[in-house]
Structure 1
Amino acid sequence: MKISEIISELEVLAPRAYAEGFDNTGLLIGDATTEVSGILVTLDSLESVVDEAIETNCNLIVSFHPIVFSGLKKITGKNYVERVVLKAIKNDIAIYAIHTALDNSFNGVNAGICDRLKLTNRKILIPQKGTIKKLITYAPLSEAEALRQVLFEAGAGSIGNYKECSFSLEGTGTYKGNEDSNPVVGKKHELTTAEETQINVTFPKHLESAVIKALHASHSYEEVAYEVLNLENTNQHIGMGMVGTLETPMEEAAFLTFLKKQMNAQVVRHSKFRNKTIKTVAVLGGSGAFAIDAAKGSGADVFITADLKYHDFYKAENELLMADIGHYESEQFTKELLHTFLSKKSSNFAPALPQGRVVLSKINTNPISYF
């Protein structure tokens, strides 16, 4: 089992195509062709975590946060980032970071918070733009149905809870081949008319390569006519944050007590009580001040996030309750999410990667202590 195969599974859960532009996700250290001896799952790749990987014979660390975030001009071991890179390389340990790709996944970080709070009726708080594409192509009438099926198998035609969605039109196509052409229908230098079907399907942008490859591989024409368009349609399965509903509405103080317990938070910093019942909850793991307006616009009664500054709390403007539970606290269960996912997938890898070789890090990487 190679590292590249593990990465392929991770990118089903959280395709890198949806990571934020500022982020540094993917394989940061190591060779993707290396055979995997074991996987250590962690929130942060620290020196102590690399030591743990060595002790547990894991040569791949799957980390939520990237240890290398911006460019390194030198690697001399003078800071914690450089020391991690040096130790990992010396011990042939690869590091893969998933970060905002998992933040933007419908089954990622924010879904984990919703699970802890038992929220139902979930939807994305800030849908990511430009995630849906549309393919328009043309095929002979007799080949249209087979081509549709090939495109569906490549992942095209899925819309929300529906699969194999398409729209077709019949019409007449024309073409004239030059001296180097080899037309399936018609002859060189002759204007040919053919009864064709126009096929329209949408697909998520991370599948574009697979969809176009399938199109070319299955089409009978020498030159395949097609268009790929970027759509502005809202995609409710990719984006930052999540909004859900409590099973049982709570008063504000009771909800904060519940929140603190469920998220193992040492303290909850919050805006002034509004003396209103909490029912609709918006969440965003990590630093979420940028989503305050979106949370207010969603109709949420409370917005749970981290790293709010002094003036951020004023932005509540009595429209919702804001609760800062801490950066680590909001993301701490992410490594359990990744461990569970990889452990289930490891059954597909056996005997190359037995179940026991997916290890959950025992190290608490929270850099903040409370007095």
Structure 2
Amino acid sequence: MKVKDFTSALEQIAPLNYAEGFDNVGLLVGNYHDEVTKVLVCLDTTPDVVDEAIREGANLIISFHPIVFSGLKKLNGKTYVERAVMKAIKNDINIYATHTALDNSFEGVNRGIVNQLQLKNAQVLIPKKDAIKKLVTYVPSENAEHLKKALYEAGAGKIGLYDSCGFLLEGKGNFRPLKGANPTIGTIGALEEVNETRIEVVVPQHVERHVLSALFQNHPYEEVAYSLISLVNKNQYIGLGMIGEFDNEMSEMEFIAFVKEKMNTPVIRHSRLLNKTIKKVAVLGGSGAFAIPNAIASGADAYITSDLKYHEFFSAEDQIILMDIGHYESEQFTINLISSYLKEKFSNFVVFNSGIITNPVNYS
């Protein structure tokens, strides 16, 4: 198995196209064509984690956070980032990071929190914009079925939990081949009229390249007439944060104790309690202050995230309980999510979680 086999599998649930623009995801150190010995999964690629990979004979580290976030101008071992990268290069260890690509995945970080809290009816809190396009093309009617199937196989026509979604309309197409053309149908200089089928399918952003390739390879015409149109529709299965609800509501104090237990966190910083019951809960792993307005607009009784600043707690406006459970604590179950997925995909290969707690925040 090669590095590309594992990263391609992970990108089926966390396509790199959906990472945020500020992020640095993908293969940060190494070569996609390297043969893999073992896979180590971690939250942060610290020098200690690289040492662990060396000890265990793993040459692929799949990390949630990218060890290289901004550009490296020097590699002299002065910082922990430089030391980790230098050690990985010296020992032929590949490092891959998924970060916000997995944050935006319906089966990603926030799904892990939702599952841990046993929330039901989960939906994306902030659906991603500009993630869907519509492909419109025209093909001779006798070729329509073949082309439609090729587009579906390339990933077109997938809407939420449905696939093979499309619209076909029969009509007449006309064209005149000019000198130098090599028409599949028709004669140079003569106006041709053909029974054609108009095919319309949605194209998720991350499969656009594959869909267009399938279009050109399977369309019989020399010049393919098509339109690829950006849609304002939001993809309800891709985006940041999630919202769900409990089967039974609980008091605020019961809820706080429940979150401490389930999220394995000793301390929760929160806004003023409102003497209300908790049933609907919004979550966003990592730094989530930006989504406070979305959590309030969703009608959530509480919003679980991390890295909230002093003044951001005022944003609760007595409409919601804001809860900062800690950055590491909000993302800790991501490791299990990644490793479980890869173990299922590669059942005969060694994939294991790092045994090193990389949380840099301590409580006394």
Give the TM-score of the pair, scaled to structure 1: 0.97
Q: 2:355 matched to which residue of 1?
A: 362
Q: 1:170 matched to which residue of 2?
A: 170
- 2:245 maps to 1:252: no
Offset of residue 217 of structure 1: 1.4
- TM-superposition CA deviations, 1:222-258 (whole Å, max 9, x none): 1111111111112110000000011221000100000
- 2:135 maps to 1:142: no
Q: 1:351 matched to which residue of 2?
A: none
Q: Given residue 234 of structure 1, which amino acid in structure 2 is its aligned partner?
A: K
Offset of residue 274 of structure 1: 0.7
Structure 2, unaligned runs of 5 or more:
none
Offset of residue 307 of structure 1: 0.3
Q: Given residue 262 of structure 1, which amino acid in structure 2 is its aligned partner?
A: K
* Cα distance in 1 between the residues matched to 2:325 and 2:352: 27
- 2:193 maps to 1:193: yes
Q: 2:11 matched to which residue of 1?
A: 11
* Cα distance in 1 between the residues matched to 2:86 and 2:296: 45
* Cα distance in 1 between the residues matched to 2:107 and 2:194: 46
**SS of the counterpart of 1:122?**
strand
* Cα distance in 2 between the residues matched to 1:60 and 1:160: 32
* Cα distance in 2 between the residues matched to 1:54 and 1:219: 50
* Cα distance in 2 between the residues matched to 1:359 and 1:293: 38
* Cα distance in 1 between the residues matched to 2:159 and 2:65: 31
**SS of the counterpart of 2:198?**
strand
* Cα distance in 1 between the residues matched to 2:55 and 2:344: 23
Offset of residue 180 of structure 1: 2.1
Offset of residue 179 of structure 1: 2.5
Q: 1:109 matched to which residue of 2?
A: 109
* Cα distance in 2 between the residues matched to 1:74 and 1:175: 60
Count of matched residue positions in the alignment of Structure 1 and Structure 2? 364
User: Which structure 2 residues correspond to residues 87-98 of structure 1 after superposition, within 5 A?
Assistant: 87-98=87-98
Q: List 4+ stretches of structure 1 deviating above 4 A.
A: none
* Cα distance in 2 between the residues matched to 1:315 and 1:59: 45
**SS of the counterpart of 1:241?**
strand
* Cα distance in 2 between the residues matched to 1:336 and 1:109: 10
Offset of residue 142 of structure 1: 1.3
Q: 1:49 matched to which residue of 2?
A: 49
* Cα distance in 2 between the residues matched to 1:59 and 1:224: 45
Q: Given residue 334 of structure 2, which amino acid in structure 1 is its aligned partner?
A: T
Give the TM-score of the pair, scaled to structure 2: 0.98
Offset of residue 215 of structure 1: 1.1
Q: Given residue 300 of structure 2, which amino acid in structure 1 is its aligned partner?
A: A
Q: 1:306 matched to which residue of 2?
A: 306
* Cα distance in 2 between the residues matched to 1:306 and 1:163: 36
Offset of residue 173 of structure 1: 1.5
User: Which structure 2 residues correspond to residues 200-239 of structure 1 after superposition, within 5 A?
Assistant: 200-239=200-239
Offset of residue 148 of structure 1: 1.3
User: What RMSD in Å do the two structures reach over aligned CA positions?
Assistant: 0.9
* Cα distance in 2 between the residues matched to 1:229 and 1:28: 33
Structure 1, unaligned runs of 5 or more:
348-353
* Cα distance in 2 between the residues matched to 1:200 and 1:147: 11
* Cα distance in 2 between the residues matched to 1:153 and 1:325: 42
* Cα distance in 2 between the residues matched to 1:160 and 1:305: 26
* Cα distance in 1 between the residues matched to 2:10 and 2:121: 26
Identity of aligned residues (%): 55
